Amino acid sequence: MKLTVNLGKDSYPIYIENNLLKHANSLIGEIFSGRRIMIISDDNVYPLYGQMLTEQLSADYDLSHLVLPHGEGTKSFQTLPVIYGALLKARISRSDLIIALGGGVIGDLAGFAASSFLRGVKFVQIPTSLLAQVDSSVGGKVAVDLPEGKNLVGAFYQPKLVLIDPLVLDTLNPRFINDGMGEVIKYGCIKDSELFCTLEAHSSFTELKEELPSIIHRCVDIKRVVVEHDQFDTGERMLLNFGHTLGHTIEQYYHYERESHGEAVAIGMYQITRLSEDLGITAGKTSLRIRKLLEAYGLPYECGLPIQELLHAIAVDKKNLNNRLNVILLHNIGSSYIHPTTSAFFSRESNYII
Ligand SMILES: NC(=O)c1ccc[n+]([C@@H]2O[C@H](COP(=O)([O-])OP(=O)(O)OC[C@H]3O[C@@H](n4cnc5c(N)ncnc54)[C@H](O)[C@@H]3O)[C@@H](O)[C@H]2O)c1
Ligand SMILES: O=C(O)C(=O)C[C@@H](O)[C@H](O)[C@H](O)COP(=O)(O)O
Ligand SMILES: [Zn+2]
> Same topology for domains 2-171 and 174-347, yes or no?
no
* pLDDT tens per residue, range 81-126: 999 999 999 999 999 999 999 999 999 999 999 999 999 999 999 9
Report whether 150 belongs to an annotated binding site.
yes
Q: In this structure, which residue's CA is closest to atom 19 in ligand 1?
A: 103
CB of 274 shorter than 6 A to ligand 2: no
* pLDDT tens per residue, range 179-189: 999 999 999 99
CA atoms within 13 A on the CB side of 176: 21
pLDDT confidence band for 309 (50 / 70 / 90): confident
What percent of the chain is helix, strand and coil (3-state, nearest 5)? Answer: 50, 20, 30
What SS3 class is residue 122? strand
Contacts 24+ apart (CB under 8 A), 207-212: 212/166, 212/169
Closest CA to 103 of 79, 126, 82: 126
Centre of ligand 1 to C-alpha 130, Å, is: 8
Host H or E run for residue 194: helix 193-202
The highest-level CATH class for domain 2-171 is alpha beta
Give this complex's ipTM: 0.99
* pLDDT tens per residue, range 38-87: 999 999 999 999 999 999 999 999 999 999 999 999 999 999 999 999 99
pLDDT confidence band for 35 (50 / 70 / 90): very high
**Domain assignments of the chain as residue spans, ordered by start:** 2-171, 174-347
Cβ atoms of 118 and 93 within 8 Å: the answer is: yes
Q: What is the mean pLDDT of the chain?
A: 95
Q: Rounded to an integer, what distance in angstroms lies between the CA atom of residue 155 and that of residue 75?
A: 14
174-347 CATH: 1.20.1090.10
Report whether 105 belongs to an annotated binding site.
yes
Report whether 141 belongs to an annotated binding site.
yes
Q: Which ligand 2 atom minimizes the distance to the CA of 247?
A: 10
Neighbours of 278 (CB within 10 A): 13
Instruction: Select from 43, 51, 74, 129 the residue to mutate for testing ligand 1; criterion: most ligand atoms less than 8 Å from CB.
Output: 129
Neighbours of 301 (CB within 10 A): 21
Question: Higher pLDDT residue, 206 or 57?
Answer: 57
Q: In this structure, which residue's CA is closest to atom 6 in ligand 1?
A: 136
Centre of ligand 1 to C-alpha 257, Å, is: 14
Handedness of CA 34, 68, 173, 260 (dihedral sign): negative
Cβ atoms of 165 and 138 within 8 Å: the answer is: no
| Partners of 90 in beta bridges | none
